[in-house]
Amino acid sequence: MKITLPQADGTLAAYSLREAAAFEPAAPGAPLNRIAYSAAHVVADARAAVDPWLQCAIDWDATIAYRRRLWRLGLGVAEAMDTAQRGMGLDWPTSLELIRRSIEAARDVPGAFLASGCGTDHLAPDAARGIDDVIRAYEEQMAAIERLGGRLIVMASRALARVAQGPDDYVRVYDRVLRQAREPVILHWLGDMFDPALAGYWGSRDTGAAMATALAVIAAHAGKVDGIKISLLDKDQEIAMRRRLPPGVRMYTGDDFNYAELIAGDGVGDAPAQRHSDALLGIFDAIAPAASAALAALARGDEARFHAILAPTVPLSRHIFRAPTRFYKTGVVFMAWLNGHQDHFVMVGGQQSTRSLPHFAELFRLADAAGLLEQPALAVQRMRTLLALHGVEA
């Protein structure tokens, strides 16, 4: 099967597809030796009569169907996170409705696990007058999610990053939040490559100093912290922090560049949870069949197979998450469309426009190289549709 694709220099070249890979995914509820959350995207309602830059319309059936797919593959769902365009098109009322629907859907799927993003995004950063406003915003979302029976992922706050005067303000906010949590939460440290408004989080632009503040917060509330997810795209910093976590507190990698080696681990650390990273990854949405099969192999003790499956996915992930990294969501949704998990390539906020045609063409090639074009004929048909919309007949 062949298709003509644009190159980075604007020229066109014929490309021959490989066969789709035959992955052996983990079964729902199957015992794995890593916890793996996929931060799942939302499917926009392409037929809604809304202004996409200003209003949010979701295709609920397709969105929940995608979560059911992730659960069938043995992955957990990290709901209403940045992959779902949280704070980047997906507002808080729609996020809460998404969380409610996902919690209800999970009850029908044996072995399904779910945690939901709790933030302050209903408080505009420039409307926050001080730390107390941030605390109240967190408390409002915490209460709403816990009323639904949801587990919390405490997301980084743009409002807190704006009003905090230093590390002590972060300690104060997280102290209040963690004391009130009904059950252990996952903390979320998102680097400014994902969201420029979060620069200097934890009170310092120096990563070592910021990490020291986060670790102090965790140590003071270790019983209320299941783990911390960090997305700094720096494996050495993640490993250094992982080794300093209290026993029983997990590191959830958010490193979409180096996830394979971080999940496999290095065996170094005083406690089991310090020797490897678990996962809370946006890329697992796009590579779900491969991620599931790799984790199943790792659970069987076949680390060589684990790496063999994931190695071809890393160039794809690095391409999807290339700078500007915050536009990675476009590549995730593009993959879902190519593979037939939604019937259009339209995104909340119109963010399908954030990447170029050569970017999509290279993504197509890398997805094929990783064996992740699940229905090659359909993927070719849809890629040709995109090319035609850009004036390229292939």
Q: What pLDDT score does 279 carry?
A: 98
DSSP secondary structure string for all residues of 182-217: SS-EEEEEE-TTT-GGGTTGGG-SSHHHHHHHHHHH
Rounded-to-integer distance, Cα 160 and Cα 201, Å: 8
Give the mean pLDDT of 234-246.
Answer: 96
Residue 254 above 80 pLDDT? yes
Residue corresponding to tokens 């160039």 = 315
Residue 266 above 90 pLDDT? yes
Closest C-alpha to 35, from 192, 153, 150: 153
DSSP secondary structure string for all residues of 338-359: HTTSSS----GGGGGGGS-HHH
pLDDT band at 20 (very low <50, low <70, confident <90, very high): confident
Tens-place pLDDT, residues 111-166: 899 999 999 999 999 999 999 999 999 999 999 999 999 999 999 999 999 999 99
The pair of structure tokens assigned to 186 is: 């996952």
Q: Considering the chain, what is the average pLDDT of its residues?
A: 96
Residue 358 carries which side chain, given as an amino acid letter? P
Q: What pLDDT score does 21 carry?
A: 79
pLDDT band at 394 (very low <50, low <70, confident <90, very high): low
In contact, 186 and 152? CB cutoff 8 Å: yes
The pair of structure tokens assigned to 203 is: 């009170």
Tens-place pLDDT, residues 97-112: 999 999 999 999 998 9
Q: What pLDDT score does 371 carry?
A: 96
Residue 251 carries which side chain, given as an amino acid letter? M
Residue 22 above 90 pLDDT? no
Residue corresponding to tokens 């292939």 = 394
Rounded-to-integer distance, Cα 353 and Cα 290, Å: 27
Task: Give the bridge partners for 230, in sequence order.
Answer: 189, 253
Structural domains of the chain sorted by starting position, each given as residue range(s) with its CATH number in brackets: 33-307 (3.20.20.70)
